[in-house]
Structure 1
Amino acid sequence: MKIINRLRAMPVTIVLIGINILVFGYTALTGMDIWQGNGGQLLHLGANYWPLTISSHQYWRLLSSMFLHAGFFHLWTNMIGLFIGGFFLEPVIRSGRYGCAYIVTGIVSDYMSIWYHQSAVGVGASGAIFGIFGVFLALLTTPLFRWEVRKAFLAYIGIFVVLNVIAAVVSEGVDNAAHLAGFLSGAIMGYIFFFTLTGADGERLSR
């Protein structure tokens, strides 16, 4: 019952996951390789690319690219991260703040991604997901949560950060610019959100 109640308290996360899956299904129906993706097709569908997004003023790509993925594994890992982040954070900060954080950090990270990689085609929700974890980490450093709760989750976030640093070092194709921008912008939003939350909100983390 506790898990069911938790799922009911994270509607934005579930909707976002559903949209990402539906968009991926659509890209597959258009003939895109579901395992590796295709840069040309993704670009046609709304991927992020400096000459189009910025130079040609197609700013909508900063948003649309957040819902496109270059293959099933890309989608799967991102949706797992989104579910975990939403499972814990959305019930605490509520759906409005959560949705705002996802969109804002996603746009910031997508801009930084193409600013840093101006010749690359960018897709994926990872920047926004890093933003969600940035919000979570920032709030964990505040008195919003009881210390015993904070201690456990700080360890969890620490592991998440360490694993992603390792992945950034050993893996090719990891968009570190997007991840870092998403995480830092999320942390800033987390500290802003802190002043709009109460102790009762913090208690929902451990329920």
Structure 2
Amino acid sequence: MKVTDRLKAIPVTLVLIGINVLAFGYTAATGMDIWWADGNHLLHAGANYWSLTITHQEYWRLLTSMFLHAGLGHLFTNMLGLLIGGMFLEPVLRSFRYAFAYITTGLISDYASIWYHKSAVGVGASGAIFGIFGVFLALLTTQLFPVEIRKAFLAYIGLFIALNVIAAAVSQGVDNAAHLAGFLSGVLIGYLFYFTLTKADGERLSC
């Protein structure tokens, strides 16, 4: 499949990437360091923080925080993961299901993040991205896709999980609560989606 055809098949993914990039551009234009953001700047832009989000009922932060990033490296790695996951999964789910899965798992992971880290400022799309991969894993364990494709992509998902487990073990600042909540909620949504999908949907998955 041509690159242009692949891009046409992932409109929601491209819009989400665009929003994330624009949000990062806004924070940089308003004075945030592009390599390592400070918590106060992120809070002003809409970051997630227990005492504001929950205690002061600023629940909109659960949504806005998933489009903010704490540096250029943080943005790049998340957008790369989103692009890869979206290129495989959005053509299968189509736009509405894909957007629903992304936003829902993102909200769940953001709540889990601040519940577990009540004194930390939370930002980033990784919880929603883990949610997308959770949906993908769930569908790969069903009969939606041909067996040979399932085996190849299950190996890919296994590698993704292994690399993130290693990263969590050796890196500081990795939000494991958000990642786990996003992934598990994605698995649940994936199994629910299975009953709304057809073999024709499964045939749109390609390497």
* Structure 1 and Structure 2 fold alike (TM over 0.5): yes
What's the TM-score once normalised by structure 2's chain length? Answer: 0.99
**Aligned amino acid, residue 185 of structure 1:** S
Residues 31-70 of structure 1 mapped to structure 2, 5 A cutoff: 31-70=31-70
Residues 1-207 of structure 1 mapped to structure 2, 5 A cutoff: 2-206=2-206
**Aligned amino acid, residue 61 of structure 1:** R
Residue 206 of structure 1 aligns to a residue in which SS?
coil
Once residues 127 and 157 of structure 2 are traced to their aligned partners in structure 1, the CA distance between those partners, rounded to angstroms, is 16
Q: CA shift at 1:2, angstroms?
A: 2.6
Once residues 111 and 55 of structure 1 are traced to their aligned partners in structure 2, the CA distance between those partners, rounded to angstroms, is 13
Residues 76-124 of structure 1: CA deviation (Å, up to 9, x unaligned)? 0000000000000000010100000000000000000000000000000
Where has structure 1 moved over 3 Å in runs of 4 or more? none
What's the TM-score once normalised by structure 1's chain length? Answer: 0.99
Once residues 115 and 106 of structure 1 are traced to their aligned partners in structure 2, the CA distance between those partners, rounded to angstroms, is 14
Q: CA shift at 1:3, angstroms?
A: 2.3
**Aligned amino acid, residue 39 of structure 1:** G
Q: CA shift at 1:184, angstroms?
A: 0.2
Q: CA shift at 1:171, angstroms?
A: 0.6
Q: CA shift at 1:206, angstroms?
A: 2.0
Once residues 62 and 23 of structure 1 are traced to their aligned partners in structure 2, the CA distance between those partners, rounded to angstroms, is 15
**Aligned amino acid, residue 53 of structure 2:** T
How many percent of aligned residue pairs carry the same amino acid?
A: 75
Q: CA shift at 1:6, angstroms?
A: 1.5
Residue 204 of structure 2 aligns to a residue in which SS?
helix
**Aligned amino acid, residue 182 of structure 1:** G
Unaligned 5+ segments in structure 2 are none
Residues 16-60 of structure 1: CA deviation (Å, up to 9, x unaligned)? 000000110010000100000111000011000000000000000
Once residues 101 and 205 of structure 1 are traced to their aligned partners in structure 2, the CA distance between those partners, rounded to angstroms, is 17
Once residues 76 and 119 of structure 1 are traced to their aligned partners in structure 2, the CA distance between those partners, rounded to angstroms, is 26
**Aligned amino acid, residue 197 of structure 2:** L
Once residues 23 and 120 of structure 1 are traced to their aligned partners in structure 2, the CA distance between those partners, rounded to angstroms, is 20
Q: CA shift at 1:61, angstroms?
A: 0.1
Unaligned 5+ segments in structure 1 are none
> Would you say how many aligned residue pairs link Structure 1 and Structure 2?
207
Q: CA shift at 1:10, angstroms?
A: 0.4
**Aligned amino acid, residue 76 of structure 1:** F
Once residues 3 and 97 of structure 2 are traced to their aligned partners in structure 1, the CA distance between those partners, rounded to angstroms, is 22
Once residues 139 and 205 of structure 2 are traced to their aligned partners in structure 1, the CA distance between those partners, rounded to angstroms, is 11
Once residues 182 and 174 of structure 1 are traced to their aligned partners in structure 2, the CA distance between those partners, rounded to angstroms, is 14
Once residues 189 and 2 of structure 2 are traced to their aligned partners in structure 1, the CA distance between those partners, rounded to angstroms, is 28
Once residues 206 and 10 of structure 1 are traced to their aligned partners in structure 2, the CA distance between those partners, rounded to angstroms, is 13
